[in-house]
Structure 1
Amino acid sequence: MRLLDNDTFWGQIVYLLSRRRLLRYPEEEPGFVPPTFGDFGVEAVEDRDLEQLENAKRQCVDSDDYLPSSDTFESDKGMIYVSWYGPNDAANPKNWSLLKKIITGLQMGLLVGCIYMGSSIYMPAILQLEAEFHIPEVVAILPLAVFVFGYGVGQTLFSPLSEHPRLGRMWIYNLTLLVFWVLQAPTAKAKNIASLTVLRFICGVLAAPSLSMGAATMGDMFEMRYMTYAIASWAFFCCTGPALGPLLGGVFYFIKDWRWTFWILGMVSCGGFIILSLTLPETYAPNILHRRAARLRKLTGNPNYTTIYDEEYAQLSVSQLAREFMLRPFEIAFTEPIVLALDVYIAMLYATLYVWFEAFPLVFHQIHHFNAIQSGLAYMGLMVGGLLGLVAYCFTTYWAFEKRDADIETFMKLCLIGAVCYPVSVFIFGWTSHPDIHWIAPIIASGLNMFGAFFIFQTSFNYLGGSFPRFMASVFAGNGLFRASFAGAFPLFSKALFVNLQTDPKWPVAWGCTLLGCIGVLMIIIPVLLIIYGGRLKGRSKYTGQ
């Protein structure tokens, strides 16, 4: 067993710098015999017609077995299409051991948790930021807003790029995290709010890959029946990251100052890069097969070795590639009613999570007189709610899909659990935030809010992933742009929302939460409509896996 996987960041660097003498692949070992060509069983792939290639790819990727019975197949034009070396090929991420899949999934959780934590880590120190730079509060919130905007923009770029067979996911993850880590030093030493804001936007763009590609990476490894649990486990880190940020930031702000919130983020991202660069392998099958085809061309001297994925992109012009990479997330988001409806719904919920960063100080600092560390601990309710949501969600989906053999539309029925919990929790939070009511009540309400939001997030993500498996990364990228747009904007006016609707200082967030709760009640109609009409809408779509 190798200490360093040749498909990791450092493994690839060692492999390339050694001129392919170290960490070699099976095709490069002495005595390797090129595979014989069997019948792939896909009659559509007889030439380079893009539509036929796409149909073949969908059969290859979306089938339950995923793997053909043979390793390559040959077209009548002489092109040899490389696939897996049989159904038990160890290079196929779906054939990895359960332990390797879990470790890779935990790495993705570490990455997304670190990134999400970075968005809110400086919020406990915002008053010090205002005082040092002589700026109003809304300007001091800009570094949070532009960070969130940045990873919305970045997702629309990096996610489609990760679907190109030449690039894959591993290089994008590691290179963006490396630069993200390096930029924490100038961020911590920023001399004015302008430089801090620009650096935070760049960091937000670099943070993007883990947020949309993470779910796609889980889909690379797990079969459809297990993907639900895999994505839910990864999403737990998405929920806990923003809640952990104020806790960790509050501790270091209390001990040091606001700049240390970014120094600690740099340390965390450095540790994350070290772990991921040494142990995170490539998971994207088209990229793995692309490199396999290149090795077979070198081994045999036959230039006709290729993959159906490479052939698809070979048919595209520069303008078509630009459309694939830059416009596809927008096209899917705005032309698919299912995607648009769930994007708006999820964005609204996600924005509420960032509204808490304004509501919590009003409640716990202003009326309950918590210090910075105690205020950070108040966010633990969100983390507990997310954990309970994960357990309950996995249990209900197991009951629905393993015991009752439900179809994908069941996700929207399960979504109704969260759709009810969400507005109820917002109402409770608003009307228990009072000096004469114990502080645990709004914390419990925030936990219930995360419980409901977790159900909505996961049922929606699995519904989208199961409905659009071929373009999963692009669908999640568009969703990320919606989330980022809402979440970046809401903190800029959320305090004004609470203050302007306030009728009594003892009820600082009551009417603001009432407004948000009423919006949540109205949005229950989205999963209801998708339960009724979702199947018909997917039947008309050119992007679904049907």
Structure 2
Amino acid sequence: MPAHSAIYGESTSPQAIIAYQPEPTQALDWTSPTDPENPRNFSLGLRVYTTAAVSLLAFVTAFAASIYSPAIDDVQKVFNVSEEIALLPLSLYNLGLAFGPLVGAPLSEVYGRKSVFLLTTPVFALFVLGAGLSRDVASLCVCRFIAGVFAAPAISNASATIADVTDGRYRGIALGIYYAVPSCGAVLGPLVGGFVVMGKGWRWTQWVTLMFIGAAYIPVLFTPETYKVRLLQQRAKKLGLDHTTPQPKQSIQAAVLYFLRKLFFRPIHMLFTEPIVTLVCLYSGFLFGLTYTFVVASPWVWSHYYNFSPAAQTLSFLSLTLGVCLVPIPQVLVDRYIYQPRLRGHLATSPPSTPFPAEQRLSAALPASLVLPLSLFAYAWTARPAIHWIVPMLLQALAMMSSIVVYGSVNLYMLDAYGPLYGASASGAAMLCRYTFSAAFPMFSLRLYRALGAGWAGSLLGFLAVGLAAGLWGFWKWGKSMKGSGKYEIST
């Protein structure tokens, strides 16, 4: 099989790559680079609006996960269950997010991106409503898990939509900044939820989530369809063209097996056989787990070492929010002054068929991978009564910022490395890992901090970050020679 090429700007999300429905024939394509129906040629205002609308919905998806965390004590008392059981609705929602592509990808393939938002979000809201009305912890767990499954397509579909409307040269910076959006939701959730629980009780965390879903859903109603395959099929229908390639009729069982292979079996196989996918998945999983470690354990740190009141513990999440808000600064600076100049130099000096090395996507991740463990160690050992609380808070913000910078860069590196053909499956493996880790970490992180204290618990996280950073620097140095060691084609 000939090596495939990585086309700058092509969407590489699972929804964008997997094709079960017949695709347009090669004869039907955009008429020119300025084709007005191409989403990248939409007006600037429409593209900005679309990006903001889908990003807001992705924000709410993550917000819905973490707003529950301040309710754990209340749920524990109301339902008379252990702390571990009360934590389950938080973890199960995140676990549901891991399986969301199994719902979103087939719908996107058949109905387009916009329809995925319109179809899955009301189901998401319905099960959030069910969670709020739950009369026992079992029904709460079930509703939260299913809510996560139907919330997940908003996150993966948003990145695909942004890639659809963004010119290739700006894709990296656009997605790099977008990757901070779910993290922003994750750290703002406890900030809002803490005050909600203090004033109204745990059920109101779900009612507030419903309000946010409604506020985010309305703008999406007015966004255009951006999926190229769907748009070209609609054009062919208007022109009366035969826009499909005849295919044998497939059974429902065959369709299910097809998507399971593309979205589950192949990603898991790549996870264990592809060094790049293994490292990126472990790194992404750790970074998401770290975020939820902060969400669950940070209030204990401020309460235990600084005697913060419940309200002050809630306000402490402003430090994590600050870290998320700072993410665009290094992303933009690295893209403008390092990545883009190198790309222009490559295009000017290399033959057109020579790809730009995917390792250049790591330009932001490399320094951030060093800042992350240093800030984790510093945060761990400055969280003590003798040192003013603002110091560990700022260090925590620095750790949060560097973790998102690393996350965005390594995922773009993996997508560019595998290109359109296997990038979707690699991305699916990363999604499974990061949400599985974010489901697991809350179950033990608070216990870890209570048992070891902030110093050694934070140091353990720092040592893990050091090990992962070493692997990242190894890929920067030896990545080209390692690319051929796997069983899947690497983009050339």
Q: Shorter-normalised TM-score: what interval? A: 0.7 to 0.9
Measure the CA separation in 2 of the matches of 1:186 and 1:275: 24
Q: Equivalent residues in 2 for 1:476-487 (5 A)? A: 476-487=427-438
How far off is 1:152 after superposition? Answer: 0.6
Report if aligned partners of 1:329, 1:477 keep a CA contact under 8 Å in 2: yes
Aligned residues: 462
Measure the CA separation in 2 of the matches of 1:417 and 1:240: 22
Q: Does 1:461 align with 2:411?
A: yes
Partner of 1:9: none
- Structure 1 residues 330 and 135: alpha-carbon distance in aligned structure 2, compared to 1, 3 A threshold: same
Partner of 1:30: none
Partner of 1:522: 467
Q: Does 1:290 align with 2:233?
A: yes
Q: Does 1:231 align with 2:168?
A: no
Partner of 2:447: 496
How far off is 1:246 after superposition? Answer: 0.4
* Greater displacement, 444-453 / 312-321: 312-321
- Structure 1 residues 212 and 533: alpha-carbon distance in aligned structure 2, compared to 1, 3 A threshold: farther
How far off is 1:444 after superposition? Answer: 0.6
Measure the CA separation in 1 of the matches of 2:438 and 2:62: 12
Query: SS of the counterpart of 1:191?
Result: coil
Partner of 2:16: none
What is the percent sequence identity of the aligned residues? 29
Partner of 2:336: 398
Query: SS of the counterpart of 2:36?
Result: coil
Which letter maps to 2:219? Answer: I
Q: Equivalent residues in 2 for 1:46-61 (5 A)? A: none
Partner of 2:367: 417
Partner of 1:117: 63
Q: Deviations over 1:159-178 (max 9, x none)?
A: 543663x3332211221111
- Structure 1 residues 315 and 146: alpha-carbon distance in aligned structure 2, compared to 1, 3 A threshold: closer
Query: SS of the counterpart of 2:111?
Result: coil
* Greater displacement, 472-481 / 516-525: 472-481
Q: Deviations over 1:392-415 (max 9, x none)?
A: 111112111223336431222431
Partner of 1:7: none
Q: Deviations over 1:244-290 (max 9, x none)?
A: 000111121122111111100011101111221x2222221112112
Report if aligned partners of 1:328, 1:474 keep a CA contact under 8 Å in 2: yes
- Pick from 157, 161, 165: which aligns with 1:217? 161
- Structure 1 residues 321 and 241: alpha-carbon distance in aligned structure 2, compared to 1, 3 A threshold: closer
How far off is 1:537 after superposition? Answer: 4.0
Query: SS of the counterpart of 1:62?
Result: coil
Report if aligned partners of 1:146, 1:197 keep a CA contact under 8 Å in 2: yes
Residue ranges of structure 2 left out of the alignment (5+ in a row): 12-24, 347-356
Partner of 2:278: 340
Q: Equivalent residues in 2 for 1:292-307 (5 A)? A: 292-296=235-239, 299=240, 305-306=242-243
Which letter maps to 2:36? Answer: A
- Structure 1 residues 97 and 137: alpha-carbon distance in aligned structure 2, compared to 1, 3 A threshold: same
Partner of 1:475: 426
Q: Does 1:427 align with 2:427?
A: no
How far off is 1:293 after superposition? Answer: 2.3
Q: Does 1:85 align with 2:31?
A: yes
Which letter maps to 1:353? Answer: T
Partner of 1:533: 478
Aligned-pair RMSD on alpha carbons?
A: 2.7
Partner of 1:274: 218
Report if aligned partners of 1:342, 1:526 keep a CA contact under 8 Å in 2: no
Q: Does 1:248 align with 2:192?
A: yes
- Pick from 123, 130, 135: which aligns with 1:191? 135
> Comparing both structures, which one devotes a greater share of its residues to helix?
2
Measure the CA separation in 2 of the matches of 1:63 and 1:378: 41
Partner of 1:129: 75
Measure the CA separation in 1 of the matches of 2:211 and 2:36: 35
Residue ranges of structure 1 left out of the alignment (5+ in a row): 1-50, 67-78, 502-507
Measure the CA separation in 2 of the matches of 1:234 and 1:136: 37
Which letter maps to 2:71? Answer: A
Measure the CA separation in 1 of the matches of 2:10 and 2:138: 53
Q: Does 1:180 align with 2:124?
A: yes
Measure the CA separation in 2 of the matches of 1:447 and 1:63: 33
Report if aligned partners of 1:385, 1:449 keep a CA contact under 8 Å in 2: yes
**RCO comparison, higher one (Cα < 8 Å, 6+):** 2
- Structure 1 residues 213 and 476: alpha-carbon distance in aligned structure 2, compared to 1, 3 A threshold: farther
Partner of 1:366: 304
Which letter maps to 2:58? Answer: V
Report if aligned partners of 1:422, 1:448 keep a CA contact under 8 Å in 2: yes
Q: Deviations over 1:424-459 (max 9, x none)?
A: 111112112112321112211110111210220111
- Pick from 376, 383, 405: which aligns with 2:321? 383
Partner of 1:438: 388
- Structure 1 residues 360 and 63: alpha-carbon distance in aligned structure 2, compared to 1, 3 A threshold: closer
Normalization by structure 2: what TM-score? 0.87
Partner of 2:90: 144
Query: SS of the counterpart of 2:358?
Result: coil
Measure the CA separation in 1 of the matches of 2:431 and 2:168: 22
Q: Does 1:169 align with 2:107?
A: no
Which letter maps to 2:158? Answer: G
How far off is 1:202 after superposition? Answer: 0.4
Which letter maps to 2:191? Answer: L
Measure the CA separation in 1 of the matches of 2:247 and 2:38: 20
- Structure 1 residues 111 and 357: alpha-carbon distance in aligned structure 2, compared to 1, 3 A threshold: same
Measure the CA separation in 1 of the matches of 2:301 and 2:381: 11
How far off is 1:65 after superposition? Answer: 10
Moved over 6 A (4+): 63-66, 311-317
Report if aligned partners of 1:212, 1:476 keep a CA contact under 8 Å in 2: no
Measure the CA separation in 1 of the matches of 2:305 and 2:56: 35
Query: SS of the counterpart of 2:27?
Result: strand
Measure the CA separation in 2 of the matches of 1:425 and 1:313: 57
How far off is 1:326 after superposition? Answer: 4.5
- Structure 1 residues 530 and 498: alpha-carbon distance in aligned structure 2, compared to 1, 3 A threshold: same
- Structure 1 residues 131 and 459: alpha-carbon distance in aligned structure 2, compared to 1, 3 A threshold: same
